[in-house]
Chains A and B, each alone.
Chain A
Amino acid sequence: MENGKCNGGATAKLPEIKFTKLFINGQFLDAASGKTFETIDPRNGEVIAKIAAGDKEDVDLAVNAARHAFDHGPWPRMTGFERARIINKYTDLIQQNIEELAALDAVDGGKLFQVGKMNDIPAAAGHFRYYAGAADKIHGETLRMTRPSLFGYTLKEPIGVVGHIIPWNFPSIMFAMKVAPALAAGCTMVVKPAEQTPLSALFYAHLSKEAGFPDGVINVVTGFGSTAGAAIASHMDIDKVSFTGSTDVGRKIMQAAATSNLKKVSLELGGKSPLLIFDDADVNKAAELALLGCFYNKGEICVASSRVFVQEGIYDKVVAKMVEKVKDWPVGDPFDSTSRQGPQVDKKQYEKVLSYIEHGKNEGATLLTGGNAIGDKGYYIEPTIFADVTDDMKIYKEEIFGPVMSLMKFKTMEEGIKCANNTKYGLAAGIVSQNVDVINTVSRSIKAGVIWVNCYFAFDLDSPYGGYKMSGNCRESGMDALDSYLQVKSIAMPLHNSPWM
């Protein structure tokens, strides 16, 4: 253990796994095929539970339920306020079950239990609370028609049946970020959680029943991307698919939509987000932000600051500070409250990250710290920092999705901007500087959906979030997210003898 100690010895009681079946039309059901898959504890590679493996047939069933709930059920016919009451009740239930939900995400995704309790689950609840408040604030507009004697207005209608495909890195927050605005808009939905982390989604399904959502409004089909996910993306009766995951899979989703019913697609994809640290930055603060930005949630976060650019005047100091600080970045059991980093989500990701580390070494980057797996059980990896990374290296270009930082030096602001934009991604960026001109110029110059100035991961319920370029095509969070789940209908009619136009 060179970097940080491993708290592998800590053990915690597994939460009881209560829900393992598909949730369709208000019922927990086995997959039609009867098949199951194993969800694995990344701390040790052991099986936590066997989960129903939904496939096309199950997706059909779920879509039917959602379709019926949308076309004939009460949900889109309730007032926004009535929907809000149920969503608020749901939020209360989530808040009453924070410990259990945090434990499920911890054991299923290797996520820190404490962080889940303090952040992930309350944030998921916050999304529901926020969109409960938004449900009665979806305004269309009355229009100033250009043509004479015409009156027009817009109605924002729920788009219909939504398919949500959510990733494994933030099972709770992603569930809420997608489900909550769709509910507020009046949609019904089929949610497919990632096969790595199906547990909390099923628990949320259970709570939805308790909260009083009409049957068929929220359906959860656990299963694999190539089967259940593909069935959703190409389903002829789904009006909209919303996906968060890798850019490669995003491309497949869009293709499936294109070759089926041209359903609307929202994509929230990968990133290779830059963090620019300027000479006037506070060294300590900058180092802290860089480490947090890259290693938070073991680097399994699409907005990770995986490319850190430091201006040459401060470079040495920042590097020294980071190397010093990373020693106090304990990796260990996610249930141990002293851990700052748990295991990678599964063997595949673990091996992928390790292979990138090998690439970094082979391509000539300087390994400052880390670079190894930890222990022989579970999928723990040391926080790893490479310096002298160049833009032709694989670790510079590709999303690693692990605790691996690439560190670069830049001279001028112009160069910094150029480097930051030197990527096919455009999800987020960080700037550390006290200079208002630098901040304004850089924020407007970086092609990314979110810019964090002197902070990082400043997500907020009210702050829209999404990608430029190949990082996606939509915005989630905030009022903008509702647009993904609404159709705009324009209504025009002749207007006679109006005293004004």
Chain B
Amino acid sequence: MSRRRSRRGKEKDDDLTVEAIYGENKIRRRVAKAMRWSRRGKEIAEETVEAEDVKELMPERLFATDRFPNKRVSTTDYLSRVRNALNNTLEMAKLIGSCFGGLFKLPAQRLKPLRFPLVGFGEVMGLPCGEFEDGYSIDFTYPIRMKRRNCYNGSRVVRRFGTSSAAEKIISPSVQVSCTQLLIDGNFVDATSGKTFQTLDPRTGEVIADVAEGDAEDIDRAVKAARKAFDKGPWPRMTAYERSRIMLRFADLVEKHSEELAALETWDNGKTYQQAKTAEIPMLARLFRYYAGWADKIHGLTVPADGNYHVQTLHEPIGVAGQIIPWNFPLLMFAWKVGPALACGNTIVLKTAEQTPLTAFYAGKLFLEAGLPPGVLNIVSGFGPTAGASLASHMDVDKLAFTGSTDTGKVILGLAANSNLKPVTLELGGKSPFIVFEDANINKAVELAHFALFFNQGQCCCAGSRTYVHEKVYDEFVEKAKARALKRVVGDPFKKGIEQGPQIDSKQFEKVMRYIRSGVESNATLECGGDQIGNKGYFIQPTVFSNVKDDMLIAQDEIFGPVQSILKFRDVDEVIRRANETRYGLAAGVFTKSLDTANRVSRALKAGTVWVNCFDVFDAAIPFGGYKMSGNGREKGIYSLNNYLQIKAVVTALNNPAWI
């Protein structure tokens, strides 16, 4: 391994394109030479092998690169990279062909003109680096430098995709991690087992803090505390007005501590500090103010009935609510779940995502300060299969709410079914279409489509991940979408002006990279991006695919990363049909100036939210939720209250009523 490692010594080389140093022809020669230096590469080059054989020839350990310090690239991935590269680049194919001679037989028509020279080349070759006679070293794990040069068609090196995580000093967050223990019954306590887990900084993969690792026993303790607080405590018994006062006080405290909360959120999650500070923390406070306003306005009905009956419905709190929140918007998901549950008078056991346990504890501390009685809000950090599963299957939890992947949602629903049939609200994955009609304002649509997908590193369940563009404006759109993606500033999320931080963790990072390879492999056109940035943390280049077809994996699966897929359509009927041909149904965007088109399409799309000439408009009052396998139930708005209420009909016989 060690001899395969990069010997590049000069960091400044990161800034230069290979091409700029050597010129195209020279580099080809040297690349070929460099490849021949690889013993394994040579072996392959000398043999004609099938895919399975490559697996044997190239054991996994060989694919460890310094990009993945503790990870290995699987041979399957490796092969798909080879295929991608071959399919996309005539030049590369020739190059590879000359080295590997007939390793893969490529149909001539699938070879394309040189468009993305050497994209992923180093990886494809299994060569993290090469070495040249004149003393320069070249690291093929960063072929983006070559691609970038090409995309801009200019002679100057344009440095847009920041490599700040690798090249710059990491900014230290100005916040102390003070709460790392479980919040149970008003106290911060260790896990019963005494175990902890590490929460990592996605900028570097380094440890931020050791956090208590809650397990079934801790969930049990938390449920007991919540049960006691609900059955005997003051919370459901105080007036709604008093509950609302406590929630308003919490909102005040959130505003007072907005900087700490934002810094923690960025540190743990990798979202930009600016986004956390100016959008998410204010929204957190705003959501709690909103729900505080509902607390004293939760109305049942008096109901007409056939006969002499007086009927009333009482909207009672449902009891102990179990809530499992994801890592992409830790505090906002906290608010979506905790806000309505508290307004309705419930008590809560909240399990945070293991990737992002920090801010919920901080918020929990503020809630205690605001006067929330002990046991009303219990927070358990830990893992899904242990803490999450025991919460979902707990016999004393009256209600479950989950936000996360569709696969996990299925498990959760199963656990609820197999335990006490607790009602379940699910907020799951999506593959939301973003439809641009020919009459749309293209510049605005490009910008919003970009935002719809890349916002929050693409880690949004409602991300506009299928950009359908009318054929008449398709080329223009693709060109502009690509240009916009290339302008996206990626780097340390604490830095001002950064638009995109790292993906949450190595698992997600690799998943996204897999999908990118799958896109290339399935013959979508990689317009830009496609690779990691830097060699530390989980930064991914903003990636745009054009010529995406509905049957490609990247058009079907939720990628949850900065990968935009642009598809072409011809007419309204077609795009409605295609947009609905997904198992998901979370959201959609429609861009048109035509009122008729807007009305028609918004009614025809099977999705819980349709944004017309806008996207990602989240407001406390606007309900959000999914059709089909994107979930059930609605969060936010008046509708969210239903999730946390039991409805009791009280029917009283009437004697001689004056009227019925």
Chain A interface residues toward B at CB < 8 A:
81, 84, 88, 126, 129-130, 132-137, 139, 151, 417, 436-437, 440-441, 444-445, 461-462, 479, 493-500
Which of B591-648 touch A at CB < 8 Å? 595-596, 599-600, 603-604, 620-621, 638
- Across the interface, A440 reaches (CB within 8 A) one of B297, B310, B603, namely B310
Instruction: Tell me whether A499 and B603 are in contact in the complex, defined as CB-CB below 8 angstroms, given that A136-B621, A437-B655 are known contacts.
Output: yes
Interface string of B311-355 (1 = CB under 8 A from A): 000000000000000000000000000000000000000000000
- Provide the residues of chain A in CB contact with B478, threshold 8 Å: none
Instruction: Tell me whether A136 and B600 are in contact in the complex, defined as CB-CB below 8 angstroms, given that A441-B656, A444-B657 are known contacts.
Output: no
Asked whether B297 lies within 8 Å of A133 as measured between CB atoms, the reply is yes
Interface string of B487-500 (1 = CB under 8 A from A): 00000000000000
State the CA gap A130–B244 with chains docked (Å): 9
Among B26-34, B124-132, B198-206, B284-292, the stretch that binds chain A is B284-292
- Provide the residues of chain B in CB contact with A441, threshold 8 Å: 654-658
- Across the interface, A84 reaches (CB within 8 A) one of B293, B596, B655, B657, namely B293
Decide if B451 is an interface residue (CB 8 Å cutoff).
no
- Provide the residues of chain B in CB contact with A151, threshold 8 Å: 599
Decide if B383 is an interface residue (CB 8 Å cutoff).
no
Decide if B455 is an interface residue (CB 8 Å cutoff).
no
Q: With CB as the reference atom, state the residue of chain B lying closest to A494.
A: B596
15 A-B contact pairs sorted by A residue (CB < 8 Å) = A84-B293, A130-B241, A130-B297, A136-B620, A137-B293, A137-B294, A137-B297, A440-B654, A440-B657, A441-B656, A441-B657, A444-B659, A461-B241, A462-B299, A496-B596
Asked whether A133 lies within 8 Å of B292 as measured between CB atoms, the reply is yes
Asked whether A132 lies within 8 Å of B600 as measured between CB atoms, the reply is no
Instruction: Tell me whether A461 and B296 are in contact in the complex, defined as CB-CB below 8 angstroms, given that A136-B621, A151-B599 are known contacts.
Output: yes
Q: With CB as the reference atom, state the residue of chain A lying closest to B293.
A: A133
- Provide the residues of chain A in CB contact with B658, threshold 8 Å: 417, 441, 444-445
- Across the interface, A133 reaches (CB within 8 A) one of B244, B286, B603, B652, namely B244
Q: With CB as the reference atom, state the residue of chain B lying closest to A130.
A: B296
Asked whether A81 lies within 8 Å of B655 as measured between CB atoms, the reply is no
Decide if B400 is an interface residue (CB 8 Å cutoff).
no
Decide if B424 is an interface residue (CB 8 Å cutoff).
no
Interface string of B241-271 (1 = CB under 8 A from A): 1001100100000000000000000000000
Which of B222-254 touch A at CB < 8 Å? 240-241, 244-245, 248
Q: With CB as the reference atom, state the residue of chain A lying closest to B295.
A: A133
Q: With CB as the reference atom, state the residue of chain A lying closest to B286.
A: A81
Q: With CB as the reference atom, state the residue of chain B lying closest to A446.
A: B658
Asked whether B600 lies within 8 Å of A496 as measured between CB atoms, the reply is yes
Main SS of chain B's interface residues?
helix
Least distance between B435 CB and chain A CB atoms (Å): 15
- Across the interface, A497 reaches (CB within 8 A) one of B248, B600, B659, namely B600
Least distance between A385 CB and chain B CB atoms (Å): 30
Asked whether B652 lies within 8 Å of A440 as measured between CB atoms, the reply is yes
State the CA gap A137–B295 with chains docked (Å): 12
Which of A84, A445, A462, A500 has the largest count of B CB atoms less than 10 A from its CB? Answer: A462
Instruction: Tell me whether A495 and B599 are in contact in the complex, defined as CB-CB below 8 angstroms, given that A81-B289, A126-B241 are known contacts.
Output: yes
Which of A133, A136, A437 has the largest count of B CB atoms less than 10 A from its CB? Answer: A133
The 10 closest A-B pairs by CB, nearest first: A133-B293, A445-B658, A437-B655, A444-B658, A498-B603, A499-B604, A497-B600, A444-B657, A496-B596, A462-B296
State the CA gap A497–B299 with chains docked (Å): 37
Least distance between B331 CB and chain A CB atoms (Å): 18
State the CA gap A151–B599 with chains docked (Å): 9
- Provide the residues of chain B in CB contact with A493, threshold 8 Å: 595, 599
Chain B interface residues toward A at CB < 8 A:
240-241, 244-245, 248, 286, 289-290, 292-297, 299, 310, 595-596, 599-600, 603-604, 620-621, 638, 652-659
State the CA gap A88–B248 with chains docked (Å): 10
- Across the interface, B620 reaches (CB within 8 A) one of A81, A129, A437, A500, namely A81
- Provide the residues of chain A in CB contact with B297, threshold 8 Å: 130, 133-134, 137, 462, 479
Asked whether A84 lies within 8 Å of B289 as measured between CB atoms, the reply is yes
Asked whether B286 lies within 8 Å of A498 as measured between CB atoms, the reply is no
State the CA gap A81–B285 with chains docked (Å): 11
Least distance between B460 CB and chain A CB atoms (Å): 23
Instruction: Tell me whether A81 and B290 are in contact in the complex, defined as CB-CB below 8 angstroms, given that A496-B596, A498-B604, A500-B603 are known contacts.
Output: yes
Other than the known A129-B248, A494-B596, what 7 A-B pairs have Cβ atoms closer than 8 Å? A129-B245, A133-B244, A134-B293, A137-B621, A440-B652, A461-B296, A498-B600
- Provide the residues of chain B in CB contact with A500, threshold 8 Å: 603
State the CA gap A129–B295 with chains docked (Å): 12
- Provide the residues of chain A in CB contact with B290, threshold 8 Å: 81, 136
Q: With CB as the reference atom, state the residue of chain B lying closest to A414.
A: B656
- Provide the residues of chain B in CB contact with A132, threshold 8 Å: 293
Q: With CB as the reference atom, state the residue of chain A lying closest to B239.
A: A460
- Provide the residues of chain B in CB contact with A130, threshold 8 Å: 241, 296-297
Which of B245, B292, B638 has the largest count of A CB atoms less than 10 A from its CB? Answer: B292
Instruction: Tell me whether A436 and B599 are in contact in the complex, defined as CB-CB below 8 angstroms, given that A137-B293, A441-B657, A441-B658 are known contacts.
Output: no
State the CA gap A94–B621 with chains docked (Å): 28
- Provide the residues of chain B in CB contact with A499, threshold 8 Å: 603-604
- Provide the residues of chain B in CB contact with A494, threshold 8 Å: 596
- Provide the residues of chain A in CB contact with B299, threshold 8 Å: 462, 479
- Provide the residues of chain B in CB contact with A84, threshold 8 Å: 289, 293
- Provide the residues of chain B in CB contact with A440, threshold 8 Å: 310, 652, 654-655, 657
Least distance between A463 CB and chain B CB atoms (Å): 10
Asked whether B654 lies within 8 Å of A136 as measured between CB atoms, the reply is no
- Across the interface, B652 reaches (CB within 8 A) one of A126, A436, A461, namely A436
- Provide the residues of chain B in CB contact with A461, threshold 8 Å: 241, 296
- Provide the residues of chain A in CB contact with B294, threshold 8 Å: 133, 137
- Provide the residues of chain A in CB contact with B289, threshold 8 Å: 81, 84, 88, 133
Least distance between A232 CB and chain B CB atoms (Å): 30
- Provide the residues of chain A in CB contact with B653, threshold 8 Å: 437
Least distance between A140 CB and chain B CB atoms (Å): 12
- Provide the residues of chain A in CB contact with B286, threshold 8 Å: 81
- Provide the residues of chain B in CB contact with A497, threshold 8 Å: 600, 604
State the CA gap A81–B248 with chains docked (Å): 13
Q: With CB as the reference atom, state the residue of chain A lying closest to B600.
A: A497
Instruction: Tell me whether A133 and B604 are in contact in the complex, defined as CB-CB below 8 angstroms, given that A441-B655, A445-B658, A461-B241 are known contacts.
Output: no
Which of B293, B599, B621 has the largest count of A CB atoms less than 10 A from its CB? Answer: B293
Q: With CB as the reference atom, state the residue of chain A lying closest to B290.
A: A136
Least distance between B487 CB and chain A CB atoms (Å): 31
State the CA gap A495–B596 with chains docked (Å): 7
State the CA gap A81–B596 with chains docked (Å): 31
Least distance between B597 CB and chain A CB atoms (Å): 9
State the CA gap A441–B658 with chains docked (Å): 7
State the CA gap A417–B658 with chains docked (Å): 10
Asked whether A139 lies within 8 Å of B638 as measured between CB atoms, the reply is yes
State the CA gap A461–B295 with chains docked (Å): 12
State the CA gap A441–B660 with chains docked (Å): 11
- Provide the residues of chain A in CB contact with B603, threshold 8 Å: 495, 498-500
State the CA gap A417–B659 with chains docked (Å): 14
- Provide the residues of chain B in CB contact with A133, threshold 8 Å: 244, 289, 292-297
Least distance between B593 CB and chain A CB atoms (Å): 15
State the CA gap A151–B602 with chains docked (Å): 12
- Across the interface, B600 reaches (CB within 8 A) one of A134, A137, A444, A495, namely A495
Least distance between A214 CB and chain B CB atoms (Å): 21
Asked whether B293 lies within 8 Å of A136 as measured between CB atoms, the reply is yes
Least distance between B481 CB and chain A CB atoms (Å): 29
State the CA gap A86–B296 with chains docked (Å): 19
Least distance between A414 CB and chain B CB atoms (Å): 9
- Provide the residues of chain A in CB contact with B295, threshold 8 Å: 133
Q: With CB as the reference atom, state the residue of chain B lying closest to A497.
A: B600
Q: With CB as the reference atom, state the residue of chain A lying closest to B606.
A: A499
Q: With CB as the reference atom, state the residue of chain B lying closest to A501.
A: B603
State the CA gap A155–B654 with chains docked (Å): 39
Least distance between A420 CB and chain B CB atoms (Å): 12
State the CA gap A130–B655 with chains docked (Å): 37
Least distance between A482 CB and chain B CB atoms (Å): 11
Least distance between B592 CB and chain A CB atoms (Å): 13
